Structure 1
């Protein structure tokens, strides 16, 4: 159901109904790319059945699906077509096209080639946990997740999101776990990680299918390298990769999750998979945040900053003397009066 998650905090004032979200998403339903359209993006039924709802409510968890279709047009093909058009013009006029004309030819070549280009589709799942005021995006990169967030904020009236930040930096916590071999309660360290230096060399050391409780890893950490990825397992139920930007990648549900679970019928598979995934991850995410020192409270931090004593204004030279002298109505007005 989910492979990668970026976790966002939803503002407390956003409390829509499923029906309201359905109506708002219906304004941007997915439509395949037109003949000369390079990309199309829109919402589609999460269940994968035509004309099904655009939002599914599974046990109080809301699921959406964004579909993105792109026309695959290699740059080398466009370049060759542009050069052919430029050569034809040069043969007819005796003059080689300039920069502006070449740019126009490139745009023309793209438009002519697009209808013949293949298309590829990808889908991004969005999971909203309204009771927890969380929104998760199953995206492989931060840039793709931000693209989805921009669309969500545009489509869903009143939605306010911010990427969850923890009190302790994930890289700092991962380094401590690797150094002393003691991860948070309920978590264990697996056999994969990436360490990167912060200097200009940006040296990288990767371990795969390798024990990490070794002196070599601790030496890298002591030498200034910081973890950027660390494979972990939560309560022998879910394995995942934690990154230094608090992305949860490579999510995999382990055998313990499926014990005693009957194989669902085809029509019920979506509901069963969604219930399993949201049920497990809805417990994992808060425990992971707690293991990273808890969620950074922006409101409390702002209030504390506002409560700090404000620095006194620096007195201008001679100000004390002027204040001590009695006011003189005959004195010349100050230049700023």
Structure 2
């Protein structure tokens, strides 16, 4: 269950207290199957286990794991438009008349109602957890839109959930550029083997993406001397977690290294117990990393009103 990407939000201590009712609140917003004429449904699914009896939250100490699920009907616009075109052409040939805009719109609505019940359904889920002690909402996605959609689902379930995007006091792009150019990385942080450098002067400026690259090489230094800045940087924290940090403070390609995963016991009695152990280990490791991100970039926790 280890997350691969992290989009982060913060919330205040008062909001953390309100999250004690999370399990009860989510119960009324459980994912239901798509109806015959619905394009999609959203709701919460059990993070561990399946079925109506499975809990919608899973807590280990001060961290609570939730999972936002969805069902989407697969009905490509090209399929609908092709079938609509054939029907319009048939009317023109058999009745000798053109189909007007209003009639075409009605025909398209009828066609959707006809095709939707037979469309395939694609299921999806996104894991997330809340750290009530430190005020973090952590979502397993690098997409801001997907993260906002999941946050909307939580707000609808709770009635209110004022989690806010990160507001760094230190500019991530400037700070990461300094780390790479001058080797001034904080203690415990080392360079990985991936970087994205851009000319910040314009949206059409030159971009250099390097992977499996020595980031201390002369090639990288030349890009920096030419004025490029770091937009994404591969990093390793305490030789335990590797990730690519973006200037948007999204962590991508997150991976717990072998020294961490080797700490997992091999004697879990079942799959649920193994997931529980993995979640406990994962949140413990992230607690240390997120604390350092807060320190490095100045990421204040919102205060209570």
Give the match for residue 73 of structure 1: 75
Distance 1:96 1:48, change over 3 A: farther
Hey, which bits of structure 1, 4+ residues long, moved more than 3 A? 296-299
CA distance in structure 1 between the partners assigned to 2:197 and 2:205 by the alignment: 10
Query: CA shift at 1:209, angstroms?
Result: 0.7
Query: Are the counterparts in 2 of residues 11 and 159 from structure 1 also a CA contact under 8 Å?
Result: no
| Structure 2 counterpart of 1:126, from 118, 125, 128 | 128
Deviations 1:164-223 (A, max 9, x none): 221112111111111012322111111111112231424321101111112322232333
3-state SS, counterpart of residue 197 of structure 2: strand
Query: Are the counterparts in 1 of residues 63 and 129 from structure 2 also a CA contact under 8 Å?
Result: yes
Distance 1:57 1:235, change over 3 A: same
Query: CA shift at 1:260, angstroms?
Result: 4.3
CA distance in structure 1 between the partners assigned to 2:231 and 2:100 by the alignment: 47
Query: CA shift at 1:139, angstroms?
Result: 1.7
Quick check: 85-94 or 116-125, which moved more? 85-94
1:151 aligns with 2:142: no
Query: CA shift at 1:106, angstroms?
Result: 2.6
| Structure 2 counterpart of 1:237, from 236, 240, 246 | 240
Give the match for residue 269 of structure 2: 265
Quick check: 86-95 or 139-148, which moved more? 86-95
Query: Are the counterparts in 1 of residues 142 and 251 from structure 2 also a CA contact under 8 Å?
Result: no
TM-score, normalised by the number of residues in structure 1: 0.83
Distance 1:134 1:176, change over 3 A: same
Distance 1:262 1:120, change over 3 A: same
Query: Are the counterparts in 1 of residues 236 and 243 from structure 2 also a CA contact under 8 Å?
Result: yes
| Structure 2 counterpart of 1:206, from 179, 204, 209 | 209
3-state SS, counterpart of residue 28 of structure 1: coil
Give the match for residue 250 of structure 1: 253
CA distance in structure 1 between the partners assigned to 2:44 and 2:18 by the alignment: 18
Name the larger-Rg structure. 1
3-state SS, counterpart of residue 233 of structure 1: strand
Ranked by relative contact order (alpha carbons within 8 Å, sequence separation 6 or more), the top structure is: 2
TM-score, normalised by the number of residues in structure 2: 0.91
Alignment RMSD (CA, Å): 1.8
